[in-house]
């Protein structure tokens, strides 16, 4: 971006980055340069021309790169890092499955305040936690289908484990902050130094996301007895479960 573009302000109401600028000579015999900018929205005479700096940056990134934040909740994001441990006895199988679905041994999921969890986050969590009596799903026989299985609850044990792991991680991260969300909200109502205000807004947004994720998995823990797991789904596919959920035994 040229120094001229750096002087153009950001406008959060602009929801497209479709703008362009051009620098060209003023004429064949002129040494002057002309700068022109195409605005992505209609601008009336006398109005300020503004652009959208970056639709994909979080408030933390906006603060670091440009020195401001937005009040929109979609700008509040928190990156959750998940990893397949090299000490996992099924490490190679899990890594192969992850890579077959566009992920690696370390996966980063950007969680946005007020939005659903990233699409691949739950399947990846179930893959990381897979073990014990569920480990048969890692066999080569299921390699082409296992990711589809992981898009739904595998077993009560597996689902309970991912809930515990995520909730513990959220609580640990929240304990690392020196203030609560309520305390941050009170600070934001005060006349703070602009730089401090930005820092508090970013911090409060991160904590609200951690609280949101914790609540999502807390609700999921309460539903564990009501969820349908792989074995039940498989029996239904084979026609071995009746309308009341009872297992059908076929007699010759």
List C-alpha distances in Å: 215 to 109, 146, 168, 184, 202. 17, 28, 12, 20, 20
Within 10 Å of residue 175's Cβ, how many Cβ atoms?
8
List C-alpha distances in Å: 28 to 23, 25, 33, 83, 134. 14, 7, 11, 60, 75
Q: Count each helix (H run) and each strand (E run) in the chain, helices first.
A: 9, 6
Q: Please tell me which residue in 53, 91, 124, 229 is annotated as part of the active site.
A: 53
The DSSP line for 117-134 is PPTTHHHHHHHHH--GGG
- Active site annotation includes 53: yes
- CA distance from start to end of the chain: 77
What are the residue numbers of the active site?
Answer: 53
């Amino acid at each position: 971006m040229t120094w001229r573009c750096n002087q153009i302000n950001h406008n959060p109401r602009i929801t497209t980055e479709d703008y362009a600028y051009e620098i060209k000579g003023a004429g064949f015999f002129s040494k002057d340069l002309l700068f022109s900018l195409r605005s992505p929205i209609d601008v009336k005479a006398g109005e300020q021309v503004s652009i959208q700096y970056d639709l994909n940056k979080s408030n933390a990134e906006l603060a670091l790169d440009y020195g401001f934040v937005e009040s929109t909740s979609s700008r509040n994001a928190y990156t959750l890092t998940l990893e397949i441990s090299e000490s996992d006895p099924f490490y190679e199988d899990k890594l192969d499955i992850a890579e077959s679905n566009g992920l690696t041994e370390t996966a980063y999921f950007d969680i946005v305040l007020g939005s659903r969890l990233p699409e691949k986050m739950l399947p990846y969590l179930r893959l990381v936690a897979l073990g014990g009596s569920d480990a048969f799903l890692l066999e080569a026989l299921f390699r082409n289908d296992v990711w589809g299985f992981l898009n739904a609850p595998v077993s009560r044990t597996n689902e309970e484990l991912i809930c515990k792991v995520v909730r513990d991680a959220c609580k640990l991260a929240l304990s690392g902050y020196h203030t609560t969300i309520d305390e941050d909200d009170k600070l934001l109502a005060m006349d703070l130094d602009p730089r401090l205000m930005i820092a508090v807004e970013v911090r409060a947004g991160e904590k609200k996301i951690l609280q949101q994720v914790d609540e999502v998995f807390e609700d999921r823990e309460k539903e564990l007895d009501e969820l349908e797991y792989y074995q039940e789904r498989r029996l239904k596919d084979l026609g071995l479960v009746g309308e009341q959920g009872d297992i059908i035994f076929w007699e010759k």
